[in-house]
Structure 1
Amino acid sequence: MQIKNVVTVLLTICCCMAISVTYAQNPGDQYSLGFYNATGDSANFHSSLRDYSVRPAWNLPPLGDSTKKRSWWHRKLFQEHLLEYNNPDYDFYADFLPDFQLGHSSRNGTDWLNTRGVIVGGRLGQRFHFYSEFYENQGKFPGYVDEWGRKTQLVPGQGEWKSYNNGKAFDFAYSSAVLDYKAAKFLQLQLGYGKNFIGDGYRSMLLSDVAFNYPYFKVVATVGKIQYTTMWAQFIDRFYPKASYDNGYRKKWGVFNYLDWNVSKKLSIGLFETVIWQDSDSSGKRGFDMSYLNPIMFLRPVEFSVGSPDNALMGLNLKYVTGKHSNLYGQFILDEFKFKEITAGNGWWGNKFGGQLGFRANDIFHAQNLNFLTEGNFARPFTFSQRTTLNNYSHYGQPLTDPLGANFVEWVNVADYRYRRWFLRGEIQLAHYGLDSAGTNYGHDINKSYETRTLEYGNHIGQGVGTNLIYVTGTVSYLLNPKNNLRLEVGVTGRKESNDLMDRKELIFNIGLRASFRQLYYDF
């Protein structure tokens, strides 16, 4: 079937899903679209900077008669954190977070996940919040994730793995933490080891939460309609040879500036810039470059003034409110370009940019808790890549934007619905990208040096081995405890990746007892 026919068929299916409310949940994606505040007034709400300072919780009524005194076991299982202390001066909570899944893949047989997680968090006074999570995992994944993991030595968004069960499964662990302090009425300071996200969509072409956790320090200043964010972060490069055994993987640094302006009640404009630089170069240890300590925007002149080969990117985020619970949004990211090469229209490899256009709505068709999102994303070949991985736009081997990297175009549709404690969520993803054959570099893998490019001119999205991806998933969940998102879940996923050289199909079923609000992406 041709890709245009597939698009037509799946668009029809997607519309039918939206009408019949048969939504489900993407495996690993525990956030409802309803967490996004799509109000009709953007004047005093900055939606494009995702807040990780406090773990979310569902605001739902208790099971059964709320006036009846419940046993300790009932309250801890269905209503409260495992440990919970509330005081006007401080709060504290702690929870055990299981993620036990059992399923079957048509490509890889029985798959399973055994995760034991813990979280502690709380508040000291009215200004200081904190939380810390730790997860110990063993798992055997569906065929396409297993294949990707063995190729990269990673679990998507969760770091490295080591062999388990005689090499049949993965053993991995990871943690995250945030210290958040409201220094003043207009100033927020955040020190964390985790992820960040800038944008109003499901993906972000500026900075997404796809990759593994990393340390960062963030300053957020909000004055009325203006919100300004500066963040410094340290990333890991897993591909370049280690400087020494004692030092481990090579490091790189990043500074990010983001200015979000609510121009009116309808329109918001965000300006983004970042510079990535390597921790050490041919002259020796460079470390954190104090030239980038200044939190004011316009980093490109600073990058130029230090005479460095650092990687500078600029971007734009737009949102326009179309109704009380809906909006249009978009992004544009610029890596490199030459104006004369753009106007020449000859497909010069160095015209590196990407973008996004989407629409989302909450409470659609006047049905409370029925949410929908549709968006398109693209990136030209070689976008986000550099001479080496020491300063490309990636962390721990994964892109800091869309999981498809570059040289791709995709269309993602997500919908979810909640009725009391029942949750249904579905996703349809269509993508087209160009893979490399032996000895070629057509710009899809951002961890390849652009100096190994196959073409100087004539570059276009989908070049190389043109590949189509169809990804459809649906999940039904029943929420047990709104405090930690503990739920029973049943899901099914279908995936097809095809080109002239392969036709890989996979059907996946899974059931599980799951908790936490982690955002993990397996839709690639």
Structure 2
Amino acid sequence: MFKKCITPVFVLVCLSIPFSYTAHAQSIGRQYSLGFYQSGSDSTKYHSSLRDYSIEPSFDLPKGDTMRKQSWLYRKLFREHLLEVHEDDYTFYASILPDLIVGHSSDRGTTWVNTRGVIAGGTIGKNLTFRAEFYENQAKMPAYLDAFGRVNKIVPGQGEWKGYSHNTAFDYAYSSALIDYKAGRHFVFQLGYDKNFIGDGYRSMLLSDASFNYPFLKIIANLGRVQYTTMWAQFIDMQYPKASYDNGYRKKWGVFNYLDWNVSKKISIGLFEAVIWQDSDSTGKRGFDASYLNPIVFLRPVEFSVGSPDNALLGLNVKYAPSRNSTFYGQFILDEFKFSEITAGKGWWANKYGGQVGFRSNNLFKVSNLNFLTEVNAARPYTYSQRTTLNNYGHYNQPLAHPMGANFVEWVNIADYRYKRLFLRGQITLAKYGLDTAGVNYGKDINKSYFTRTVDFGNHIGQGLKTTLLYVQGTAAYLLNPKYNLRLEASVTARRESNNQWKTNELIFQVGLRSSFRQLYYDL
């Protein structure tokens, strides 16, 4: 099938960090809130669209919240890691990470999460950073998450589960690790089992951190205004039965190139390309394809030269900051298309693409730490899907991009505010999508082969069982320890999903003692 790249320009944000870190000055770390980033008028000094998970996040405490002479117990509970070592040639830290939640769902009654975690990390010399996390979890989840888990065999973003408490709850483990080495001024090498995110918004249509962790090797080259990233990764396909007890689930590979160019103080443009290929096929074991080993090659010609059995995607990320605190952003992802079919306007099924446009403002109305984001995401039917899940754009039964897959349009609105140690957050998400009915694949589920479609023309976003999702959440938290985000937190969530065949409503209240900077997407 003939593919080519059209990359229309969207407008995108410049962001910086209002929190303190112990690593690369140009890096952007894991997102916990909108306030994790602040707009900046000069984008030439950093590259915000590729988040760096190697750095140790830590909130800056307000002025006046000084250490003074406090007891060891006070410092460990409210100011420091449980274990901290600072020497001239190395540092080390470690903490216990509880995530203990109890709540009530209008559909399931009492819900709870019992997570015991640990984090350890540090530095060796000036250039090597390392981090590892592990979480053991049991949870009785709200009805919509329980249903999602039973259909997809996973907890969103946290991998496979097994039954717990007479199969009414989930038992699952989560681990991540990363080694980061800065080789001189221009190169960074990362070896990890973690997630990645490309973009400046809440979602990413290119590569998001919504799915489970995976092993990867990443090379980042920084040349002032230009940053070039290549990553090789291995993913898991859970749709096929395990090859054997010894080999586990079927695997697939991915290679990603991302070029980010800070054109000026206000404008940045990023070019993205990716190829996914299966580890083995009917001819036998394929494994890692050395054709994709060169980190600076254009992937699309290589993918075509080896017989085009693989899944190639192209993308664009652009941001624009008209002022210090206001930014626009957006993305475009191109899976495949035929130009003659686009101009014909007949809704050909293989015109597969999606996009994002958004706006965010920090210190809104000149109120410090008051932040706002509004964002629209959309993807045409069958985007990210392939002949088989062995080379679709997915991992562990979730998309590698937007968690809703394809055949949807979504509008996300988020506001948050921080005053000293008090944190408030509100979110309203409205989405419309088309579900499959009567065994017909209308293009939302990327884990279904596009060969199972029933029509070639007349395809459009929302086709199928037209469904509306409304998700509203309010959260209040009090920060206890900024080092690992230990906090007392309470939230209320209302979720309604409806179409002309059924309607579900769920109201959820939760309180708990929480920690870590993990970003878990339950708004699906």
Q: Give me the TM-score of the superposition, normalised by structure 1.
A: 0.93
Distance change in 2, residues 1:266/1:102 (3 Å): same
1:54 aligns with 2:43: no
Distance change in 2, residues 1:404/1:135 (3 Å): same
Deviation of 1:62 (Å): 8.9
Aligned pairs (5 A) from 1:391-470 = 391-470=391-470
List per-residue Cα deviations over 1:331-389 (Å, max 9, x = no partner): 00000100000000000000000000001111111111111111000000000000000
Structure 2 residue runs of 5 or longer lacking an equivalent are 1-29
In the alignment, is the contact (CA less than 8 A) between 1:469 and 1:497 conserved in 2?
Answer: yes
Deviation of 1:43 (Å): 1.4
Q: Distance in 1 between matches of 2:386 and 2:51?
A: 28
Deviation of 1:64 (Å): 6.4
Aligned to 1:124: 124
Q: Distance in 2 between matches of 1:93 and 1:122?
A: 6
Deviation of 1:89 (Å): 1.5
Aligned to 1:233: 233
Q: Distance in 2 between matches of 1:37 and 1:454?
A: 47
What is the aligned length? 495
In the alignment, is the contact (CA less than 8 A) between 1:63 and 1:78 conserved in 2?
Answer: no
Distance change in 2, residues 1:432/1:443 (3 Å): same
In the alignment, is the contact (CA less than 8 A) between 1:62 and 1:78 conserved in 2?
Answer: no
1:89 aligns with 2:83: no
Aligned to 1:503: 503
Deviation of 1:34 (Å): 1.8
List per-residue Cα deviations over 1:372-430 (Å, max 9, x = no partner): 11100000000000000000000011000111100000000111110000000011000
Aligned to 2:371: 371
SS of structure 2 residue aligned to 1:304: helix
Structure 1 residue runs of 5 or longer lacking an equivalent are 1-28
Aligned to 2:11: none
List per-residue Cα deviations over 1:476-522 (Å, max 9, x = no partner): 00000000100000100000000011110000000000000001000
Q: Structure 1 vs Structure 2: percent identity of aligned residues?
A: 69
Deviates more, 1:71-80 or 1:96-105: 71-80
Aligned to 2:21: none
Q: Distance in 2 between matches of 1:349 and 1:237?
A: 24
Q: Distance in 1 between matches of 2:203 and 2:32?
A: 13
Q: Distance in 2 between matches of 1:383 and 1:103?
A: 37
Aligned to 2:261: 261
Aligned pairs (5 A) from 1:306-321 = 306-321=306-321
Aligned to 2:44: 43
In the alignment, is the contact (CA less than 8 A) between 1:347 and 1:459 conserved in 2?
Answer: yes
Q: Amino acid of the residue matched to residue 113 of structure 1?
A: V
1:186 aligns with 2:186: yes
Aligned to 2:299: 299
1:322 aligns with 2:317: no
Q: Amino acid of the residue matched to residue 337 of structure 1?
A: F
Aligned to 1:21: none
Q: Amino acid of the residue matched to residue 328 of structure 1?
A: F
Q: Amino acid of the residue matched to residue 348 of structure 2?
A: W
1:115 aligns with 2:115: yes
Deviation of 1:30 (Å): 7.2
Aligned to 1:473: 473
SS of structure 1 residue aligned to 2:322: strand
Q: Amino acid of the residue matched to residue 54 of structure 1?
A: I
Deviation of 1:61 (Å): 4.7
Deviation of 1:63 (Å): 8.8
Distance change in 2, residues 1:202/1:64 (3 Å): closer
Q: Distance in 2 between matches of 1:193 and 1:234?
A: 10
Q: Distance in 2 between matches of 1:256 and 1:38?
A: 27
Aligned pairs (5 A) from 1:143-182 = 143-182=143-182
Aligned pairs (5 A) from 1:314-353 = 314-353=314-353
Q: Distance in 1 between matches of 2:488 and 2:325?
A: 29
Q: Give me the TM-score of the superposition, normalised by structure 2.
A: 0.93
Aligned to 2:284: 284
Aligned pairs (5 A) from 1:3-42 = 31-42=32-43
Q: Amino acid of the residue matched to residue 506 of structure 1?
A: E
Aligned to 2:24: none
Deviation of 1:454 (Å): 2.0
Q: Distance in 1 between matches of 2:475 and 2:38?
A: 23
Aligned to 1:15: none
Q: Distance in 1 between matches of 2:459 and 2:242?
A: 33
Q: Distance in 2 between matches of 1:183 and 1:397?
A: 36
